[in-house]
Amino acid sequence: MEAENRTGASHFLLLGLSDDPILQPLLFALFLAMYLITVFGNLLIIAAASSDSHLHTPMYFFLSNLSFIDICLTSSTVPKMLVNIQTQDKGISYIQCLTQVYFFNIFLGMDNFLLTVMAYDRFVAICYPLKYTVIMNRQLCGLLLLVSWIIMFWVSLIHILLLKQLIFSTGTEIPHFFCELSEMLKVASSDSLINNIFLYVMTALFGVFSVTGILFSLLLISSILRMSSSVSRYKAFSTCGSHLCVVSLFYGTGFAVYLSSSATLSTQSSTVASVMYTVVTPMLNPFIYSLRNNEVKGATARLFSRAASCHPWIIDL
């Protein structure tokens, strides 16, 4: 393949999950269904939290933002994959690939920060219930969210600027279903040492935040065991258990991709792990956070009741 310069109008080939033509319709139907469930489920969480005054708390403020980020994270990868399957065209332009890397990294990092902030929110709510509203005030919640966005905008931009310094060959094959940064560094024709160093340093730093979040969750469990009220214990377990489940699924598969070497993790295994944290986890989050949460279920029921009263034809259907 002929090497392109850094500013050339090159393109890449996304190999996807499988080359088997028999599996293509099945993969299209499966990922389309998961994408629609992700969008609908997370939009439902956002609508329920914003429309019900009982859910106007820091916990549901961050949960709504997490739902929004999950929609964006999935939308940055799945639609392009569906188009490629439908058109039987694996190509993606150089600009499209860089754009996908940029926004994917932003939303992935925001997921990381929000899960950590939510762990801290639960820590304060359970360990310091009398000071909860004072500590987790609107100003602090907004500041935490704003700082997270600013950090990820700049980190992702630096990734792109470093990526633009690399040379790729025309028609370079990326063994993935989207332009993932780690995979692009592997197929670069020029030296990507600086890119890899920056990638691993940022992953390690963000990992500190994630580990801190997990430790906060563990502290919550120890606090739960000291609770005397069974009602309070059940309520705490319903929120902390859900959060621990999401944290384990998200970070477990994410670290498997970014911190495992090629000797310990094959390309196929890496792709499967990527599917877990880019598609499956965002799809499951609304169910995980709402199945054992009576407040969310109640708000959702009231939301549907209001919708039915405003549109009586829904009931007739």
Q: Is residue 303 part of a domain?
A: no
Q: Tell me whether residue 205 is in a domain.
A: yes
Nearest to 132 by CA among 49, 44, 67, 57: 57
- This prediction has a pTM of 0.85
Whether residue 307 lies inside any domain: the answer is: no
How much is the pLDDT for 79? Answer: 93
Token representation of residue 44: 């439902």
Cβ burial, residue 146 (10 Å; 0-12/13-18/19+): exposed
Domain count, the chain: 1
Q: What one-character-per-residue DSSP string does 183-222 give? A: HHHHH-SS--HHHHHHHHHHHHHHHHHHHHHHHHHHHHHH
Phi, psi of 165 (to 5 degrees): -80, -10
Tell me if 306 is assigned to some domain: no
Q: What's the pLDDT at 245? A: 76
Residue 258 maps to a domain: yes
Six-digit token string for 63: 């949960």
For 195-232, b where at least 16 C-beta lie within 10 A, e where not — what string? bbeebeebbeebbebbeebbebbeebeebbeeeeeeee
Report if residue 253 sits inside a domain: yes
Is residue 28 situated within a structural domain?
A: yes
* Domain enclosing residue 277, as ranges: 12-294
Flag whether 299 is in a domain.
no
**274: CATH:** 1.20.1070.10
Average pLDDT per 10 consecutive residues for the chain, totaling 317 residues: 48 83 90 95 88 82 93 94 89 91 94 88 81 90 94 95 88 85 87 90 81 69 61 63 75 64 56 81 84 68 69 51
Cβ proximity of 181 and 155 under 8 Å: no
Q: Evaluate whether 219 touches 235 at the Cβ level (below 8 Å).
A: no
